[in-house]
Amino acid sequence: MPDPIAMLEEDHRKVESLFEQYQNGQDPLIAEQICTELMVHTEVEEQEIYPTVKSDVPDGKELEQEAEKEHSEVEQLIKQVQQKGFDDPSVPELMLRIEEGVNHHVHEEESEMFPKMREALGSQTLEQLGEKAMQAKQQLVQELRGQTGQAKGGGSTVEGELTKEQLYQKAKEQDIEGRSKMDKDELQQAVGDQ
């Protein structure tokens, strides 16, 4: 029985321990892993969790707005890191700012949003959310790592062509629905059609 809150809290702990690892040695691979974990986690929340918070939890609208704002602040920083490259000398400072933003946000979720969800949502709703969140997460992890198992959807790209990750980011910026379930071709189409 998937518990969405336990699942999200598990993600939070994982990212915290990755940040701790990053502080010892500032390994670019760990920085990359943190950014990927955060992108998947925030996207699962925005797609599968926050809409229900907004509609079914007391003060949900404000909670959701605040959370989205905090997500986008962290996303901007992640974007900077990606643009510079994970081994750029400016990255440790940026990672520190990401960590601060994440810590603050995680605290708000765990001390306010999640307890309110537990109180307001029935066990059936929570279970359904958990199911959907788990599926979305698996899908996103696959998508972002380019491991779709399709020759065309993989990580390799023709020069000048956007990677799947970049297409996904564009789709997110354009708020394209169902983006987490799209393969690379579908993302390309959805983004180009806009």
Q: Rule CB under 5 A: which residues touch Fe ion?
A: 8, 45, 109
Burial per residue of 28-61, b for 16 or more beta-carbon CB atoms within 10 angstroms, e otherwise: bebbbbbbbbbbbbbbbbbbbbbebbbeebeebe
Judged by beta carbon, residue 75 or residue 109, the one nearer Fe ion is 109
Residue 122 CB, shortest distance to Fe ion, in Å, is: 21
How far is residue 23's CA from residue 99's CA, in Å, rounded to a whole number?
A: 11
CB 96, min distance to Fe ion, A? 19
Q: How far is the CB of 5 from Fe ion (least distance, A)?
A: 10
Rounded to 10 degrees, the C-alpha dihedral 94/157/143/13 comes to: -20
When the beta carbons of 30 and 106 are compared against Fe ion, the nearer one is 106
CB 3 within 8 A of CB 130: yes
Pair of tokens at residue 68: 């989205």
Cα 14 from Cα 117, distance rounded (Å): 22
H/E segment holding residue 105: helix 91-108
Closest distance between Fe ion and the C-beta of residue 10, in Å?
10
Shortest Cβ 9–Fe ion spacing (Å): 8
CB nearer to Fe ion: give 8 or 40.
8
> Which is nearer to Fe ion, 79 or 107 (by Cβ)?
107
Identity of the residue, 121 or 190, whose beta carbon is nearer to Fe ion in the bound complex: 121
What separation in angstroms does the CA of 178 have from each of 76, 98, 152? 22, 27, 20
